[in-house]
């Protein structure tokens, strides 16, 4: 039976602060957490040391820090990396809003070098409206500079990629982690804005939609973490954080135990 490391992504709990998220993740049984330190889970001063102690106390590690947006000139990247390092984070999630691929590649290479100086890895995510927009282009860009690739199964499906494309990322040695959720098979009508709305507000727990979890997970090796990213207004509206996290953990485990079947 395949059991991969299981993380609670920041997006699954943007309605609570960082400490509350960590406690909820620990209680639900997640191995690691993601935090959106550039937004809803931002920390100041003594909160960093307090959260470090809390992570240790809960037995949960900080897997992913969000988010560096290439093209955002206002973000203090050095400060973000220092905070992530102080919390013993493993990875920083990067996306690019620059339309130019060469400029994105140059910026990504600089971020990899900068992050490496404080012991952080860099994961590049692809979406229909970002650069790169496909797993193939993401793999090429990541391979060139020592980054890894983040596969969000919703975006993966929406850009027309296949489970075999996940194997391509594995074969090239660049698959960093996989963000999991579920959704209807067909994309919502309305173009990019509709896709953004779906990704940020209407994701489903794994197994509650029409994405083929069996086919997807068959291409994800046991060492690759799964990060449960279910941004759902409907789930948040229940007001039951503990119940929500328990539901997400149980749903994720149904996919997590699907065996890896390398080609």
pLDDT of residue 262: 84
Distance in angstroms (rounded) separating the CA atoms of residues 17 and 79: 19
DSSP lists the bridge partners of residue 14 as none
pLDDT of residue 3: 86
Task: Say if strands 61-70 and 32-36 run parallel, antiparallel, or are unpaired.
Answer: parallel
- For residue 7, what is the enclosing H or E element? strand 6-8
Query: Is the separation of the CB atoms in 138 and 176 below 8 Å?
Result: no
Query: Is the separation of the CB atoms in 204 and 183 below 8 Å?
Result: yes
C-alpha dist (Å) from residue 87 to 14, 40, 177, 230? 19, 17, 19, 24
Query: Is the separation of the CB atoms in 64 and 34 below 8 Å?
Result: yes
Mean pLDDT of 163-186: 98
Tell me the pTM: 0.97
pLDDT digits (tens, 9 = 90+) for 188-206: 999 899 999 999 999 999 9
Whether the per-residue pLDDT at 159 is higher than 80: the answer is: yes
Kindly tell me the sign of the dihedral angle through the C-alpha atoms of 214, 219, 221, 224.
negative
Domains annotated on the chain, with CATH: 6-256 (3.20.20.150)
Whether the per-residue pLDDT at 259 is higher than 90: the answer is: yes
Identify the CA nearest to 33 among candidates 225, 251, 164. 225
Tokens for 77, please give them. 């990247």
């Amino acid at each position: 039976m395949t059991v991969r490391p299981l993380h609670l992504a920041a997006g699954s709990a943007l309605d609570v602060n960082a400490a509350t998220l960590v406690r909820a993740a620990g209680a639900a049984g997640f191995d690691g957490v993601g935090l959106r330190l550039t937004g809803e889970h931002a920390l100041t001063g003594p909160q960093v040391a307090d959260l470090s102690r809390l992570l240790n106390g809960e037995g949960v590690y900080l897997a992913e820090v969000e988010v560096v947006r290439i093209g955002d000139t206002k973000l203090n990247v050095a400060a973000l990396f220092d905070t992530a390092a102080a919390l013993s984070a493993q990875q920083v999630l990067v996306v690019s809003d620059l339309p130019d691929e060469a400029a994105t590649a140059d910026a990504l290479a600089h971020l990899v070098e900068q992050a490496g100086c404080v012991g952080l890895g860099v994961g590049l995510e692809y979406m229909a409206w970002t650069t790169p927009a496909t797993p193939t282009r993401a793999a090429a860009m990541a391979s060139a500079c020592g980054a890894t690739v983040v596969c969000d199964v919703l975006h993966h499906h929406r850009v027309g990629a296949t489970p075999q494309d996940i194997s391509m990322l594995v074969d090239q040695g660049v698959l960093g982690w996989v963000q999991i959720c579920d959704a209807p098979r067909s994309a919502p009508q309305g173009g990019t804005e509709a896709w953004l709305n779906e990704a940020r507000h209407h994701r489903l727990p794994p197994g509650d939609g029409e994405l083929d979890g069996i086919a997807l997970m068959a291409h994800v090796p046991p060492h690759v973490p799964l990060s449960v990213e279910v941004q759902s207004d409907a789930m948040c509206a229940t007001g039951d954080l503990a119940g929500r996290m328990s539901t997400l953990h149980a749903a994720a485990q149904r996919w997590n135990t699907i065996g890896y079947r390398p080609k």
